[in-house]
A and B are shown apart, each in its own frame.
Chain A
Amino acid sequence: MNDRNLVKGLFLIVIALYFGIGALNYPVGRVERAGPGFFPLMVSSFVFLLGAAMMVRSRFMEKQPIYFNVKNILIILGSLIAFALLSQLVNMITGIVALVFVSAFAGTSYSIRRNAMIAAVLIAIAFAFREGLGLQLPLY
């Protein structure tokens, strides 16, 4: 499973199946009178073929190991989700602070002072956007 090309093909097939099966829920119509499901079905079949071709090809090619840092990706995604939820439920300043302090775990070194500074600058920028440019930001 540790092969870039194989995983790529698999991923494409999953996407194609999701959109293709979804498209079958809408009227497909005919070529001369296409329904809402026609085009997605057509495109996802192409994607399916491409994915299958990639999987077949991966058998004949040298394996390229996949490397990705799950921990960092999860930290960054988590910090973004935390930011979105906190901004929606509490306010944006809390969201920004959470974003900075959580995402900093993905770095090599962790300094509370530096995080505080980054958060302060980001909050200042957010204020500048609200006051200067008139964006509606739920800051507090």
Chain B
Amino acid sequence: MEILHNLAFGFSHALTMQNLMFCAIGCVVGTLVGLLPGLGPLATISLLLPLTFSIPTTGALIMLAGIYYGAQYGDSVSAITMKIPHASSIVACIDGYQMTLNGKCGLALFTAGVSSFIGGTVAIFVLAFFAPMLGEVAFLFGPADYCALMLVGFVCVSFVTTGSLLNGMAMCLIGVLLGQIGTDVTSGMQRFTMNLDFLADGVGLVSIALGCFGIAEITKNLDNRDERTPFNGKINLIPTWPEFKRIIPSALRGSAIGSFLGILPGGGPVIAQFAAYAVDKKFSKYKHEIGSGAIEGVAGQAAADEAAARTSFIPLMSIGIPENAVMALMMAAFIIKGIQPGPNMIAGHPELFWGLVASMWVGNCFLLILNVPLVRYWLSVLDS
């Protein structure tokens, strides 16, 4: 019952005019960057991070979160129609694009939209249930435990990053070294500041985020010349009843897998999609069709993608460990606002936590409308 009470409390914050507006802005921007090749949630959030200085805390975080999960919806659209994947919709290219080639593009888009909605909804309940619970455990932590947790975080991050373990470790340690720039906390001595006053407070999170994610992404994408595939733009969205019935079990399976893998540090949307796709390939009633344009091949991975995107907030908000780059940026946004994500956050800023959780569901509804009935208009953006 307490959860319901808390969720109601959250909705009372998420449903204010202002926060609804920020949620809608986040979802629209997210869908747009998800659609457009070359821009991802990482680059967009890092570009928008400085803006959050002047927006109220809850609104700012609702907006940034909206961009993140909105982009997860949007990029399946470009994957299905044109086989242009982003980091998080590789799997949608397989069956989704096959369905487009079979002339069932509208059905694929509908399936992806509805499954994402189901995945998102399931994940929000998981988030509302598990984050406070984990948070309570984290209250028992002392400094030594936190140090241990940090090291676990390091190892997890190193494991997840693409490439070898050595690369990941090196990346974490370089981050630690950059953190040394500025005033030493215990002795007050200035380290590595090169006598520049503005470095006394350390290197700004926003500058690092912008440099590493924003500008680096853009320069990297300049060299990518993706070929566009022909797509005639005619779609029929409404599925038949038997088709619709095939979506549900697969989407629920995907939601469960996605929610679980999203919580694990190092999980996250990409791994979740592949896992859900693999499970569908093994257990679905229509497994023989998967790979050549099956509804299940789209539904399961879309639900897992969206579910994992939301539950990946759990490690961040309950123990303060970001599990992927976007979460690290979200963490930066919290810190800029003077809030340390972690166990104290849920107790100290309940309106922020529950408001964010509730807004995710509101955003889910926005996105369902944006992505199913209105998807034609987005496609015309892609065409131009």
Residues of chain A at the chain B interface (Cβ within 8 Å): 8, 12, 15, 19, 22-23, 26-27, 34-37, 39-40, 43-44, 46-47, 50-51, 53-54, 57, 69, 72-73, 76, 80, 106-108, 129, 133-135
In the complex, which residue of chain A has the Cβ closest to the Cβ of B185? A36
- Cα separation A47 to B215 with both chains bound (whole Å): 25
CB distance from B232 to the nearest CB of A (A): 26
In the complex, which residue of chain B has the Cβ closest to the Cβ of A46? B173
Known: A50-B170, A57-B166, A133-B55. A26 touches B177 (CB 8 A): no
Q: State the 8 A-B residue pairs at the shortest beta-carbon distance, nearest first.
A: A36-B184, A133-B54, A36-B189, A40-B180, A36-B187, A50-B170, A47-B173, A19-B177
Cβ B189 vs Cβ A69 within 8 A: no
Indicate the size class of the contact surface on chain B.
Answer: 20 to 34
Cβ A12 vs Cβ B170 within 8 A: yes
Cβ B223 vs Cβ A69 within 8 A: yes
Known: A44-B177, A54-B166, A135-B54. A72 touches B192 (CB 8 A): no
- Cα separation A76 to B216 with both chains bound (whole Å): 10
What is the predominant secondary structure among interface residues of chain A facing chain B? helix
Question: Can you give 29 A-B contacts (C-beta < 8 A)?
Answer: A8-B167, A8-B170, A12-B174, A15-B177, A22-B192, A27-B189, A35-B187, A36-B184, A36-B189, A36-B191, A37-B191, A40-B191, A43-B180, A44-B177, A47-B173, A47-B174, A47-B177, A50-B166, A50-B170, A53-B166, A54-B167, A69-B222, A72-B222, A76-B219, A80-B215, A129-B54, A133-B51, A135-B53, A135-B54
Known: A50-B166, A80-B215. A39 touches B180 (CB 8 A): yes
Which one of A40, A53, A129 contacts B177 once the chains associate, using CB atoms below 8 Å?
A40
Which one of A34, A54, A57, A76 contacts B215 once the chains associate, using CB atoms below 8 Å?
A76
